[in-house]
Amino acid sequence: MEYKLLVLDVDGTLLNSNREMSERTIRTLKKVQQNGVRIALATGRPTYGVLPYAKAIDLDFNDGYIISYNGSKVLEASTGKVLFERTIDPKMVPYLEKQAERSGCVLAFYENDEVVATDTSNHHIVDEAQMNNMALRQVDSISEALEGVKDDPKLWPTEVILVNDDEQMLTGLEEYLQRHLNGVMDTIHSNPYYLEIVGYQVGKSHAMSALVQKLGISMKEVLAFGDGHADINMLQMAGTGIAMGNAPEEVKRCADYTTLSNDEDGAAIAIERAFEEEHEKKEDDQEVPVDVLNAQNKNTLMGALGMQYTFASPHRVEATMPVDGRTRQPFGILAGGASLALAETLAGLGSMIACKPGEMAVGMQVSGNHVSSAHDGDTVRGVATPVHLGRSSHVWNVQIFTSTGKLVSSVTVTNSIMQKR
């Protein structure tokens, strides 16, 4: 089966026990996207808390997606456009407050880059804020905090969290609320100490289904990874569901396969195997280590302009370049000459990699169309792909984008291929 969408849980799957992505995981996910596969990060975290991981794997450059709040929201990583969202009506919050008071729970919700809670000294609330790099704001009442937005559904919270150290009590409370909120709201007990109240029929599987419909693909073309109970429906619904080695046995039983743990690069290894079966690699099409290339070019024009290679193979080369005092015009936008220098650099490396032993590439012609501007402080990204790789010449198309994905320049570079003397 040729997979077109890869859906990954974050904590316990994408991240190791130190809440970090390994270099192998980052490299593997970037490579998958280079082959045209879309990626969606599916997490119980708020959107703000997953943005750094999305950026680290270039999700915004590769038309990726973020499924946050356990499926309550789906958005495009490149534009921030919301594709799907289910919220909680503030009129239901007083009922939840009564249940929280009766059971001794702290109540919390997310608002932009803040965790709003009735007790910000609670160690679980503090950990949640630190984990997501969010600020804390204490309130006496969640209802009062939502008073100003109750007439605007766009500002309603996507979930409300009840927090308590007594896992057994939370389990009983979940069963109680499921009976009393049936058809109105749903519950998700993804963490031993959190009981999340979300909109009706919310879950990662529902969000994944909405995304599949939007992309016009089938569930058979989806490969999903997870480690928790909140991932079970997603693993069962996907064409292939893979549980992490660190997942509970009941989660593993619901998956098609089990990989190694999150501390053993289990997701990366399974992805590599899945896509190697689909795309058999040719010996001459291996990725070139970009760290070596960047080190070699430190004292060249490339280094002087701040260019950094991010991916290199015989069929695709990418690099970034800052828009700053080295590359901008006096009035603060990227100079056309700098764009051409980036394009020639990318095409030059591409031809050098594609050349046969005894051959060398020499720049012959460059032609660019500058269609929009990139401003001071931005970082542009160039992508070079071959149009023609002949015996005597190579022709490359180079497209340069802003950090938000806007096309800045489209450049054609022709290199002459000569025999070394």
Distance of alpha carbon 12 from alpha carbon 16, whole angstroms: 6
Beta bridge partners of 388: 395
370 residue type, one letter: H
Distance of alpha carbon 82 from alpha carbon 411, whole angstroms: 33
CB 21 within 8 A of CB 366: no
Closest CA to 249 of 268, 229, 230: 229
Pair of tokens at residue 20: 């970090």
Q: What is the CA radius of gyration of the chain?
A: 25
Pair of tokens at residue 235: 């693993």
- Using DSSP, state whether 221 is helix, strand or coil: helix
Annotation says 318 is catalytic:
no
Distance of alpha carbon 17 from alpha carbon 29, whole angstroms: 19
Beta bridge partners of 320: 308, 381
Distance of alpha carbon 359 from alpha carbon 280, whole angstroms: 27
Distance of alpha carbon 12 from alpha carbon 251, whole angstroms: 13
Helix (H) or strand (E) holding 2: none
DSSP 181: S
CB 294 within 8 A of CB 278: no
Q: Which of 175, 278, 344, 359 is catalytic?
A: 344
Closest CA to 257 of 270, 268, 248, 269: 270
Distance of alpha carbon 220 from alpha carbon 314, whole angstroms: 31
CA dist 202 → 68, 82, 95, 214, 414 (Å):
11, 15, 19, 17, 52
CB 258 within 8 A of CB 245: yes
CA dist 44 → 73, 155, 195, 209, 253 (Å):
10, 19, 11, 17, 22
CB 389 within 8 A of CB 359: no
Q: Which residues are catalytic?
A: 344
